[in-house]
């Protein structure tokens, strides 16, 4: 349902493309079950939708956040998106780089609001130029396996969720950890014993001390975990380095990585084997591409991930993942937890694989009945 809608008169331009007006909507959609991680519980999707209207077309963007990760509230994302759009009014930009630089500098941080605007611009430009966003980015259409998630829940519920994912022929499973380490050790062992051909990794969302992370690491190693995602606090570089050198398990950084600068710092501090790049953390497609390319320059492979997001922003993530060569993993499953979608199209899912939908822009269709 729509919680709030506001309009902005823009009269701005990117090259020859006119941005006549914009609308900002805040939506609430229930989840199939609460999303439980070490940082808290999320019962609903609360997403900001940005509509950018040219003279003939409309571009759509979406942003949905976890406040403990980006520092934004859902209501704040919508308000900030409107504020940035008002700052854009009447301006002319030479191209997408100029536009992105202005949006990034318009206000400190607030990456989810910036991402919603950035995705809408890419969708509009793709429609105007009759190009899919993957083609705009120089990428390729490909089937990309995605991980699906087991929440931070007791052993019995974890195994029930595992059975559901196996029935869906999931190939890679993410196990949320970061609670009591004794409980997490038992959960990981129980899940690992019941895997067939699936691979798995764990994500602590900064939930552990170094001591507890070192206790879990041997279990991950003996169970064949792909990697240990964000085991410690986002700025705990020295402890992350110690964990990498001591445990024998690859470390992926997520909350630590929001920009190219963060990648450089993680490399300098020897804190990461992999990085997880999300549009919501980065400020959209344009900035996420820069972060991934920086990681590629340093020889670091990456994952493209998501929050609890609908198909529109997930499709945008898939476009990015399809366009940079160092993307080894994707975790683009947030939309599967929602009972309804603000947009359909963009991508399809089957047997653990996301596939981009052919079309122009993001190749999505607004589903008015779900608003």
Domains parsed from the chain with CATH numbers:
2-130 (3.30.390.10), 135-370 (3.20.20.120)
pLDDT exceeds 90 at position 17? yes
- List 344's β-bridge partners, or say none: 365
With beta carbons less than 8 A apart as the criterion, state whether 112 and 65 touch. yes
Q: For the chain, how big is the Rg over CA atoms in Å?
A: 20
Average pLDDT, the chain: 98
Q: Checking DSSP bridges between strand 199-203 and strand 172-176, what pairing results, if any? A: parallel
Mean pLDDT score, 159-179: 98
pLDDT digits (tens, 9 = 90+) for 91-128: 999 999 999 999 999 999 999 999 999 999 999 999 99
* CA 326 to the chain's CA centroid: 17
In angstroms, the CA 313 to CA 359 distance is 16
Closest CA to 314 of 274, 371, 357: 357
Give Cα 87 to chain centroid, integer Å: 26
**pLDDT (mean) for 291-309:** 99
Contact 305, 328 (CB under 8 A): no
Q: What is the pLDDT of residues 234-281, one digit of tens each?
A: 999 999 999 999 999 999 999 999 999 999 999 999 999 999 999 999
Average pLDDT over every residue of 170-189: 99
> Token digits for 195?
């895997």
Give the tokens for residue 316. 């945008």
pLDDT in tens, 42-90: 999 999 999 999 989 999 999 999 899 999 999 999 999 999 999 999 9
Q: Confidence class of residue 311 from pLDDT cuts 50, 70 and 90?
A: very high
DSSP 54: -
Q: Does the pTM of the predicted model rise above 0.85?
A: yes
Token digits for 141? 């259409």
Strand, helix or coil for residue 181: helix
- Per-residue pLDDT, averaged over 164-180, amounts to 98
Assess whether pLDDT exceeds 90 at residue 133. Answer: yes
Q: Is the pLDDT of residue 152 over 90?
A: yes
Helix (H) or strand (E) holding 44: strand 40-53
């Amino acid at each position: 349902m729509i919680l709030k809608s506001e309009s902005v008169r823009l009269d701005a331009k990117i090259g020859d493309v006119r941005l006549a007006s914009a609308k900002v909507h805040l939506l609430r959609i229930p989840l199939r079950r609460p999303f439980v991680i070490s940082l808290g519980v999320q019962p609903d999707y609360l997403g900001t939708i940005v509509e950018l209207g040219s003279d003939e077309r409309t571009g759509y963007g979406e942003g949905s956040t976890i406040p403990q990760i980006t520092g934004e509230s859902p209501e704040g994302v919508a308000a900030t998106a409107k504020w940035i759009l008002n700052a854009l009014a009447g301006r002319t930009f030479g191209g997408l780089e100029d536009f992105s630089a202005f949006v990034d500098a318009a206000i400190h941080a607030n990456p989810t609001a910036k991402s919603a605007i950035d995705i809408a611009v890419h969708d509009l430009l793709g429609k105007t130029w009759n190009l899919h966003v993957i083609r705009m980015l120089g990428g390729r259409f490909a089937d990309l396996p995605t991980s699906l998630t087991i929440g931070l829940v007791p052993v019995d519920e974890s195994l029930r969720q595992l059975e559901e994912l196996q029935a869906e022929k999931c190939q890679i499973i993410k196990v949320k950890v970061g609670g009591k380490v004794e409980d997490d050790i038992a959960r990981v062992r129980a899940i690992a014993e019941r895997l067939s051909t699936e691979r798995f990794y764990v994500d602590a969302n900064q939930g552990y001390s170094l001591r507890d992370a070192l206790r879990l690491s041997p279990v991950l190693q003996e169970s064949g975990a792909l990697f240990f995602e964000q085991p410690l606090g986002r700025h705990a570089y020295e402890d992350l380095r110690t964990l990498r050198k001591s445990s024998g398990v690859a470390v992926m950084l997520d909350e630590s990585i929001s920009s190219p600068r963060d990648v450089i710092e993680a490399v300098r501090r020897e804190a990461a084997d992999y990085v997880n790049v999300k549009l919501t953390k980065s400020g959209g497609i344009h900035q996420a591409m820069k972060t991934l390319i920086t990681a590629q320059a340093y020889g670091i492979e990456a994952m493209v991930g998501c929050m609890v997001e609908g198909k529109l922003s997930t499709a945008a993530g898939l476009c990015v993942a399809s366009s940079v060569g160092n993307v080894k993993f994707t975790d683009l499953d947030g939309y599967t937890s929602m009972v309804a979608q603000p947009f359909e199209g963009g991508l399809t899912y089957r047997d653990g694989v996301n596939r981009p939908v052919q079309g122009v822009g993001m190749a999505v269709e607004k589903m008015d009945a779900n608003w």
